[in-house]
Amino acid sequence: MGKLTYEGTVKVDLDDRTLAHLMVVIGTKLRRGEPFHFSWRDDASIGDGRTAIWVHPRCSLVYKFYGSRLPQLNPAWIDALSCTANSQSGLYVVPEPAAPSSQPHPDHHLVGG
């Protein structure tokens, strides 16, 4: 289970695989200077509501991965997440589609550093 921390205070737990895909999508948007909303459903233990943050090039984001291995990236999921990030509602996690049998996504190197 990984963790995304926004501005040092807002935190959300996500599995490492989801977090790796979000990191690629968020990084791509921020490199382009494109701010956007990112929202998620809160865990029942903290109220079962929703949280939304405004992600912009000057915000502080920390991605904490707890697994020792880098997850395999699915370019179809990156594309699906990118579509939500480019919509009026902003980025949110959608179910992972089946991975195509094509070449790796051009941003696959971002997870490895």
User: Whole-prediction pTM value?
Assistant: 0.84
Hunting for tokens 């990112």 — which residue is that?
A: 38
- 42-73 burial string, b = 16+ CB within 10 Å, else e? eeeeeeeeeeebebeeeeebebebeeeeebeb
Q: Is the pLDDT of residue 7 over 80?
A: yes
Stretch 100-109: mean pLDDT: 57
Please say if the pLDDT value at position 104 is more than 70.
no
